[in-house]
Amino acid sequence: MMSHVCNSTLDRQVEMDSADRLLVQIASYNTNLQGFEGVPQDLVDWLSPTLQVSTFLSHEPRAPDIVAVGFQELLPLHLGLSGWSSAVINNRADHILSQINSHAPNKETYTLLAKIVNVGVALLVYARDDGVGKKACDIQTNWTGCGFLGYMGNKGAVGVRFRLPDSEGGIGETYTFVCAHLTAHEQYLAHRIANYHHIVGTLLFPDESGKPSTIYSTSHLFFLGDLNFRISLPPTQINPIINVSSPDGISDALTDESVRATLKDFDQLLTERRKNTIFVGLREGEFWKFKCSYKYKLGAVDTYSTKRTPSWTDRILYATHTDREDTPENSNITNILYTSIPSYTTSDHKPIVALLLVPRQKDSSTSNNSPVLRLPAFYSPRPDRRANLKRYVGRTLDRTLGIIWWLLTVIGAGSAAVGLFNFIVGMGAWNWWKSSRYTAVSTNTV
C-alpha cells in the first residue's frame, strides 16, 4: 500500500535530527460530489501512513505533529453554491478526528485547529494535543473563488494560517496551508495559471501589523488540491509512450516507473513551474513515483477511463523560509512519502498523501516578525486591492445561482433540466389560464 517512499532510506543525519523537526502529514481528495458519502468509514489507508513508514523516522512509531486534509468537489454543485457545505464538512471533520485519534501509534490525541469551506473546496487542519495543538495561536482562515463567472466558488481556494511560538517564547514561525481546485481540461492551461495568480492576490491574511498579506508571507507554505494540470503530449509522442487500445493497457503501461518518468516531462505543472510562470518558490516530491491519480473508472482500483489522458491532477507542493531562492529544486523540507491510495474507488480521482519533515527555528528571534519565504528577485506577489470586492461578488453569484438551481432541482424531482422544463410549461399554462379567464370575463361583460 504505502510503498512509494521518496528516498529508499533516510540518511543517518535526517534520522538523528527528525525529532527536532515537525512531521506534517498532508492529504487531498477530490470526492466527486458525493457529500456525506465522500469517504469510507475506515480511513486508515489514507490518513495513517505513519504506521507504514515510522521505522524510517525513529525506533519508535511517531505520529504526525500536524495533519492537514483537503477536499474538492465536496458535494453536488447546486448545494455547495447554495451554502450547504458546512454540514458536510462538520460531519467529515468529526469523522476524521475520530479516525486519526483511534489510529495514532502511541495513543496521541488531536485537536481540530481550523476548518474552512467554500462551495466544494474544504480544508481541515489538526494538531497533536501534546505539542502544536496547545501552542498554536493567531489562527486565521480565508477563502476565494475563481470560477467560471464573476469569481464564483465552483473553483478557488481556502486557506488556514497559524503561528507557532518558539520554545523560548519568541515570535516563532507561521504555517500556511492552502487547498485549491483549479480549472479543468487539458486545453485550459492559461486559465489554471490565471487561477493561481488570482488565488495569490486574493487569498489574504492580516500580517503582524494588520495589513493584508499573500500566502507567501509565511515561514512555511503548503499548497495542495486538485490542481487539474494534465499530461500534454505532442502527437508525435503519443504512440511510443502510451499507445494502447484499452484502459487496462494504459494502467499496465503506467505500472512501469520508466514510462512515468518519461511522462513527467510532459506534465503541465512541472513544465510551467520550471518556466517560473506558476508556483514560484514552491517545491514538490517525485510525483511520478506513483501512478496518475486521475481519471479512473468509478468502482475500479486500477482501471483508467478512456475519456481523458491519465494525469497527476492531484498534487502537494511546499516551501520553507530556509530554502534558497537560487536552488529551486532543493528544499530543506524532507519529503519522506508521496503517494496515492488505489483502494478508494468511489471517485474518478485517487486520494493522495504526503509526509514531510519540516525544519523548526532553533533560536529565539529578536525580531517582531516571523521569518518569511525567500523568493527570486523577479517575483514579488502583492495583495489585490479589490480582493474583498471580488470575493463577495463571487459569493453573491454563488448564492443566487445556487438557490435557483436548487429550486429547479426540487421542481424537477432531482433534475434541474426537468425542473426548468416544468417551470417553463407551468408558466405557459399559467399565462394561458390568465388569458382564457380574461377572455371569458370580457365576453360576459359584453
CA distances from 25 to 34, 128, 336, 400 (A): 24, 12, 10, 37
Q: Would you give the DSSP letter of residue 32?
A: -
pLDDT on residue 47? 84
Q: What domain count does the chain have? A: 2
| CATH number of the domain residue 16 falls in | 3.60.10.10
d(CA 314, CA 349) in angstroms, rounded, equals 8
Same domain, 325 and 419: no
Same domain, 325 and 426: no
- 137 falls within a domain: yes
Final residue belonging to a domain, choices 368, 385, 402: 385
Give the three cell numbers for residue 427: 408558466
Q: Which residues span the domain enclosing 422?
A: 412-445
Instruction: Report the sign of the C-alpha dihedral through residues 439, 441, 444, 446, in that order.
Output: negative
Per-block average pLDDT, block size 10, for the chain (446 residues)? 43 56 95 86 76 53 92 93 93 93 91 97 97 96 93 97 88 97 96 98 94 97 98 66 55 84 93 97 97 94 88 98 93 94 94 94 71 96 97 95 84 61 57 61 55
Q: 14, 357 in Cβ contact below 8 A? A: yes
- 399 falls within a domain: no
Same domain, 434 and 372: no
Same domain, 283 and 361: yes
pLDDT on residue 93? 95
Final residue belonging to a domain, choices 385, 404, 423: 385
Give the three cell numbers for residue 380: 514579488
Same domain, 421 and 371: no
CA 229 to chain centre: 13
Same domain, 433 and 289: no
- 192 falls within a domain: yes
Give the three cell numbers for residue 244: 494502447
Give the Cβ contact number of residue 274 at 10 Å: 12
pTM of the complete model: 0.89
- 398 falls within a domain: no
Same domain, 118 and 78: yes
- 310 falls within a domain: yes
Give the three cell numbers for residue 311: 494525469
CA angle 296, 301, 305 (to 5 degrees): 20
d(CA 306, CA 303) in angstroms, rounded, equals 9
